[in-house]
Structure 1
C-alpha cells in the first residue's frame, strides 16, 4: 500500500530492532476489580480486611494507582504467625507424596492463570514469566516427594519468615518460598511493593491447589517495620531475606539477640563483570551486552570488561547496535539527578560516551549510555547506578581480566565470553562469584545453586544445596529463643583481663607459660600480657597469652598468604597433610591425655578416649577430602552445568568448653579439609589441650598459617574476629550476648555465621563423641560455598 509505514521482516532484521510487545492489562485489571481495588492481607487461607488499618497505594510505571494494599499491624502479625504454627502441624504431618501432589497441582493453576500473573508482574515492574514459576514448582515438588528418603535425618524449622525488599523480583521471592514449603515448613511472606500483587495472587492459587490453611500467609506493609515484628514472634524459627544490602543490614541489626537464625541473599544492587576475551564471538558478545545491560529494571549492575586487542572492534559494534535505541524510563523521579552526576564524574575522569541520542534536558528518561575508559575506582564502577549506564574497562592479559572481574566487593555472578573452553573454565574457577555464565547471561534454573560470595550473601538458594537453609539436623539444637539484651555494641569485648601480679613463690614450682601459634610459629601475644589457667580445684596450672585484635590481625595476614595455595592443592594432597597431623597426634597421645586430665578433671581413661576420637576425626576428614564434591545437575536447557563447592577463605572459630581437644580437632579438620584457613580461639576455661596441640601442628606437614591458635578472653577475641573484613565466616560457641553481638555486627562486612549458645557442660562433652551423619553434613556445608558454571551448547 502506498505510503505505508509498516516494516517488513527484512527491514526489522536489518536494523535488529525488537518487535512490538503486548501491553494488555485486561486480565490483571479484572482480578483487581474483583478484589474491589483494595487487596487485604492473606491469612489462614483467605483474604482479610482488618478494620482501622492504614493502606498504601501500588502504582505502575507511569505513576497511576493500581490498587491499595493493607499495612499490617501487630495484631495481624500475631494472627498470621499463629495461623502458620497451626498450618505447619497439618502440613508437616502429611505424607511426602501428598505435599508433592499439591505443589504439582499448583502448576496447572499457574498455567491456567498465567496471563493474569504475567500482567500483574508487568504492572508492578517485577517481570517473572509463568514458565519460570512452573519450573520451580516442578523441580521442588520432586524434592518434596524425596525428602524423607534422601534427607532422613533432617527436619523442617517450622514457621519461617520470607522477606524481600521493594526492588526484589518475584522469582527471587518464590525461590525461597517454594523450597521452604517443599521441605514441610509453613511460611509468613513479607513481599516488597513490587512483588505484593503477584505474591497475593499466588497465595490464592496455592490454597486453590489444596495447600492447608495457614501454611502460607502474606503480610503487606513497609518491609523494615514489619519484618522485625514478625521475627520477634516466638513461633518464628527462621528468617530468610532477599534484596538489597542496606535493608538486609538493617534487618540483621533489628533482629539481633532474638535467637532466630537469619540468612541473606543480597541479589539486588550487586555489580557483576561482563568479560569479553579476544577469543570471543564478538557479534554474540555485543548482542549479549545490549540484552542484559539496558533492561528497564535489572537487579544487578553490569560492568563491561574488554580485552585491549579487541576493544576498538567491540566499541564499533556497540555504536552500530545502539544506533536508533530510544531513551529508557527511569524507575524513580530522583534517579535522573544521580545519573547526570555519575556521567559528569566519569567524563571529568576522562571517560567518553556512546549514546544513541542526546539526553533530554529534563524528565525521567535517559538514553542507554556506555562510559568508555573509566577507571576501576570511579564511583560508577564501584557503586551501582540506577539508570541505563554501562561502564567499560579494558584489560591486557587473561589474568588481568579476572583480577578486574574480582575488583567488585560483590560476588553475585559473572558472564564470560570466549570460544576457548580451557580459558573459560580457568577464568570461571578464579572468579570469586557464585554463578558464572559462559557465552551467555542471566540463565536461571532451580537446579543450579546460587550462592552469594563476598558481600552478596551468606546462604545458598536453588538446587539441593538450597534446601538445607530450610532444614536442621534432627540431633542439633537450635539457638534458644530470647529477648535481646541491652548490649552496648561499642563496648562489647573491651573489658580488660584480670591482672597477674608476682606472688613471690618458689621459681621451681612456677606455673608453665605457654605461647600461642600464629603463622606457623609460637609467639607471645602483642599485648605482652598473660592470663591464668586454673585447675578444677582452683590452683593455677599455667599461664597462657592474652590475645587481642593485633594478634587476630597477624593471624589473618598469615592466613591470606597461604590459604589460596592451600585451597589449590589437590584433595589427595590436603588429605595427606591431615593424615600426617593425625600421625603427629598419635605420637603425642600421652601428653595430650595428661593435659586434658589436668584441665578438666576427667579420668585418664576418659582423656585417652578423647584423644583417640580426635585422631579418628582427623582421619575421617582426611578421607572425605576427595569424596565431598559437587556435580553436574541435569537441566531442561541445552548445555552443561557444573555445581562446585569451594572454600570460604579464612574462618574464625570460637571453640566450646566441652571436649576441648575433640571439638577443636573436629572443627579444624573439616575447615582445613575443604581448603580453608582457620583462626581458632580455644575455650578460656580449658585452653591447655589446644596449646599442647601446637606441638602436633609443628611436627606435621600442614603449611604454617593454615591454622592459628590465639588464646585470651572469648568476648575480646570474638569482637576482633567480627570486625576483620577478610574473615568470611565465624563459628561460635558462647553465650547469648556473643551471639547477639555477632548477628548485629557481621552484617557489614557480611559473614557466614554458625552460632551456638553453649550450656554448662554436664555430659563430659559426649555430644562431640557421637556426631550423627546429619551434623557431619552440616559441618561440611558450613565450610564451603557453592559456584555454578553454565556452559550452553547449540
Structure 2
C-alpha cells in the first residue's frame, strides 16, 4: 500500500492577518492598535530566516500613555461583577475557536509554542476562578495594574499563565512580550477586546530588549511586576527596579537544568523513549541531565543506541553555539566520557546530531552550565540517596522526571528533590490547576492552581501603606557592614549603674560579634545609654545564614505537631519573662506599661496562633483532565530574614508585618490586637512554596 504525499503546513491565514497590518505591528493601547510616528522598529524573522513582520519599539511617552490607560481599564474591569468578568473570558473561548487557524499558524510561524487547545484550557480554568473569586477567595482584592514581562525565548504558554490569572482576579495587565510572543500577544489582545474586555484592561508594549520591561516596572502606576523567561534577563529586571518599592516576582523557566532519574525498577524501554522525546525531539526550553542507576546502566545505554539511530540532527542558532558544543564535546572526551550519537557529526555548520555524554562528572562545566546544543550528560548513582544528591546538585529547581515502578520509592524521591514539579514515569506534563513554585534559582513565586492566584491579590482588610516609590538607586553591596557606629560614652561613672552588654545569638549559643564592637541602645528621643548590643557585620551575617541553613532541614523534617509543641514551649518560656520584656519596651520606646504589656501579650498569642497553624494547612490531590493523579505539597521556603530598623518604636508589632484597621476607632488608629484570617493566610503563603507531583494511572 502506498501513501499519498505528506500534507504541507500552510500559514496563509496568519500571513493574511499580517498583511492586513502591513506587516508592521504597532502597540496595543486602550483597546486599539497605536503606531506612533518616529519610532524605531524591530524585525522578526522565522526559523528559515524569512521576514515575518516588524514591531514598534516603545519609548517613555508610550509607557506613560499605556499606564494611564491601564489605570482606567482597571477601574472598569474591577468594577464588573465576577460573573460578568467570567463571561468575557468564556466568550473568548468561542472566539479562539473561530480564529484557531490564524492563531495556530501565527504561533507556528513565530515558534511561540502554544496550541489553541492549550489556550482554551487556560481560559476555561481561569474563567471559573473569575466566577468564584468572591465565593472561594473571600476578603481579597485585586492589586491594580500588573506588568507581565517575558524574555525573547519564553513561550506563549508561560506568558498566558501570568496574564490570565491576573485578569481573572480583576487586575488590568500591561504585557511586555518577547520577540517570538509579540505577534500572538497582539492578536490575543485584539481578540480580548472583541470579547468585551474594557479598553485599557489589557495593553501590549513592544520593544527591542529588556530595558522596556524595566521602564514599565519603574512607572508609578504599576502595582506589581511578574517576569518569566531566562535567568539573565530576570536578574537585570530585578536590579533595574531595586529600591523602588515595586513588588516583583520572577520565574526563570528557560535554561534550567532538570534531572531525569531512571531507577533499576523502571520500565527501561518506556524510560528511554521518554529520554529521547524530552531531550532531543521537543523544543529545548530546559536542559536535562540523565541519572541512571548503575545496575541498569548497560541496558539503558544499549537501548539509547538503538533509539537514537533515527533521530535527526538539531539546528543550532549560531556559529558561537557550534563552537561551544565542540568545546564541550572535546572537554567531555578529555574527562573520559563516552559519546553516543545518532550519526557522525559534520565538521562544521549549524546542524549537530543528538549526543549522550556517558560518564559525565557532576562538576563538569557542560553539566553545570550546559550549552545550547543537543547534548545530554549521563551520570550514574547506586542508591536513592545518591540519586537525590545528583538531582539537587543543580542551582535550579524547576522540574524532575522519575522513572520507577515502585510508588513508595517515587514518592520518597519526589519529596526529597528540591524542585517545583515532579513527573513520575512521564515528563513535561502541564496543567493550570497544578501549583508550581520555582525552587532555588528557578523562581520566587507560585504559578498555577489556586495558590498561584494570590500573587495577584492582597488582603482587603490590610491597611498597611504601600512601600514608597522612588527612583532607581545604585546599591554598593561591597560597603555593607563597613560603616562605623557612633561612639557613645556614658557620663555616669558609677560602676553599679553601668549599662549591660548583650551578645548575639547564633547557632544556638550566645557569641560576640566578629568585630568585637558594640552599639549603644538609647531610649526614644535620646538620653542615657540603656545597654550595649553587638555591632554585627558581613561575617556575622554569613555565620548566621550558615547556621540557619545547617539546621533548617532537620527542623523541616520534624512532624507538624513537634514544631507546634516547640512554639508552644517558646511562648510559655517567654511568658515567664512577661514583666521584664514589658519594662524593656517601656524604657526603649516610651510606650506606657499598659501598652507594652498589651504588646507582649499579643506576641504570646501570635506564637500560639502559628503553633496551631502547624498541622492545619495541608496539600492534597488535584482534579486534572488527564488520566492520572496529581499531588499538591506545601514545603518550607527555606531560610528567612526579618529586618527591623533602629528607629522601630514597636518591634513586636512590626514582626506581624501587617496591621488591621479598626473600623470603630474614631481617632483613625489601628487595631492590631485582632488579626484577620486573610492576613494570617497571606503571611503563611509568603513562607511556603509548592510542589506538584504527577503520577499517571494509565
TM-score interval, smaller chain: over 0.9
Query: Which whole-Å deviations, capped at 9, do the CAs of 1:468-512 have from their partners, x for residues lacking one?
Result: 111122214321222234554443543111235475711111111
Deviation (angstroms), 1:558:
2.2
Deviation (angstroms), 1:332:
3.6
In the alignment, is the contact (CA less than 8 A) between 1:118 and 1:127 conserved in 2? no
Q: Which residue among 577, 584, 600 is the counterpart of 1:595?
A: 584
Is 1:152 aligned to 2:56, yes or no? no
In the alignment, is the contact (CA less than 8 A) between 1:232 and 1:258 conserved in 2? yes
Is 1:410 aligned to 2:410, yes or no? no
Query: Which whole-Å deviations, capped at 9, do the CAs of 1:325-375 have from their partners, x for residues lacking one?
Result: 221122344321221111111111111111111112222111111111111
**Who is 2:662 aligned against?**
none
Unaligned ranges ≥5, structure 2: 659-666
My pick for the range that moved more, 303-312 or 289-298, is 289-298
Is 1:778 aligned to 2:678, yes or no? no
Determine helix, strand or coil for the equivalent of 2:692. Answer: strand
- Where do residues 155-194 of structure 1 align in structure 2 (5 Å cutoff)? 155-194=141-180
**Who is 1:793 aligned against?**
697
In the alignment, is the contact (CA less than 8 A) between 2:437 and 2:446 conserved in 1? yes
In 1, the alpha carbon distance for the partners of 2:123 and 2:504 equals 53
Is 1:633 aligned to 2:622, yes or no? yes
Unaligned ranges ≥5, structure 1: 8-18, 668-732, 734-762
Is 1:484 aligned to 2:491, yes or no? no
**Who is 2:273 aligned against?**
287
**Who is 1:243 aligned against?**
229
**Who is 1:330 aligned against?**
316
In the alignment, is the contact (CA less than 8 A) between 1:447 and 1:633 conserved in 2? yes
Deviation (angstroms), 1:98:
0.2
Is 1:581 aligned to 2:581, yes or no? no
In the alignment, is the contact (CA less than 8 A) between 1:659 and 1:765 conserved in 2? no
Q: Which residue among 246, 252, 272 is the counterpart of 1:266?
A: 252
Q: Which residue among 71, 81, 89 is the counterpart of 1:103?
A: 89
Query: Which whole-Å deviations, capped at 9, do the CAs of 1:81-106 have from their partners, x for residues lacking one?
Result: 11111111100100110000000111
Determine helix, strand or coil for the equivalent of 2:284. Answer: coil
- Where do residues 343-358 of structure 1 align in structure 2 (5 Å cutoff)? 343-358=329-344
Q: Which residue among 482, 494, 498 is the counterpart of 1:494?
A: 482
In 2, the alpha carbon distance for the partners of 1:277 and 1:765 equals 61
**Who is 1:256 aligned against?**
242
**Who is 1:360 aligned against?**
346
> What TM-score, normalized to structure 1?
0.84
In the alignment, is the contact (CA less than 8 A) between 1:296 and 1:330 conserved in 2? no
> What TM-score, normalized to structure 2?
0.95
Count of aligned pairs: 685
My pick for the range that moved more, 765-774 or 35-44, is 765-774
Deviation (angstroms), 1:296:
5.3
Is 1:655 aligned to 2:660, yes or no? no
- Where do residues 378-457 of structure 1 align in structure 2 (5 Å cutoff)? 378-457=364-443
In the alignment, is the contact (CA less than 8 A) between 2:242 and 2:473 conserved in 1? no
- Where do residues 182-261 of structure 1 align in structure 2 (5 Å cutoff)? 182-261=168-247
Deviation (angstroms), 1:591:
1.5
Q: Given the superposition, is the C-alpha separation of residues 765 and 373 from structure 1 closer, same or farther in structure 2, using an over 3 Å criterion?
A: farther
My pick for the range that moved more, 285-294 or 530-539, is 530-539
In 1, the alpha carbon distance for the partners of 2:7 and 2:452 equals 35
Determine helix, strand or coil for the equivalent of 2:281. Answer: coil
In 2, the alpha carbon distance for the partners of 1:590 and 1:156 equals 42
Deviation (angstroms), 1:765:
9.7
Determine helix, strand or coil for the equivalent of 1:90. Answer: helix
Deviation (angstroms), 1:658:
4.2
In 2, the alpha carbon distance for the partners of 1:116 and 1:124 equals 12
In the alignment, is the contact (CA less than 8 A) between 2:481 and 2:537 conserved in 1? no
Q: Given the superposition, is the C-alpha separation of residues 455 and 783 from structure 1 closer, same or farther in structure 2, using an over 3 Å criterion?
A: same
Is 1:610 aligned to 2:599, yes or no? yes
In 1, the alpha carbon distance for the partners of 2:399 and 2:346 equals 33
Query: Which whole-Å deviations, capped at 9, do the CAs of 1:385-410 have from their partners, x for residues lacking one?
Result: 21111111111111101100000000
Is 1:309 aligned to 2:273, yes or no? no
Determine helix, strand or coil for the equivalent of 1:236. Answer: coil
In 1, the alpha carbon distance for the partners of 2:34 and 2:180 equals 20
Query: Which whole-Å deviations, capped at 9, do the CAs of 1:561-618 have from their partners, x for residues lacking one?
Result: 2211110011011111111111112211111212221212222222211121111111
Q: Given the superposition, is the C-alpha separation of residues 23 and 289 from structure 1 closer, same or farther in structure 2, using an over 3 Å criterion?
A: same
In 1, the alpha carbon distance for the partners of 2:636 and 2:445 equals 14
In 1, the alpha carbon distance for the partners of 2:113 and 2:523 equals 65
Q: Which residue among 60, 64, 71 is the counterpart of 2:46?
A: 60
Determine helix, strand or coil for the equivalent of 1:394. Answer: strand
Is 1:87 aligned to 2:78, yes or no? no
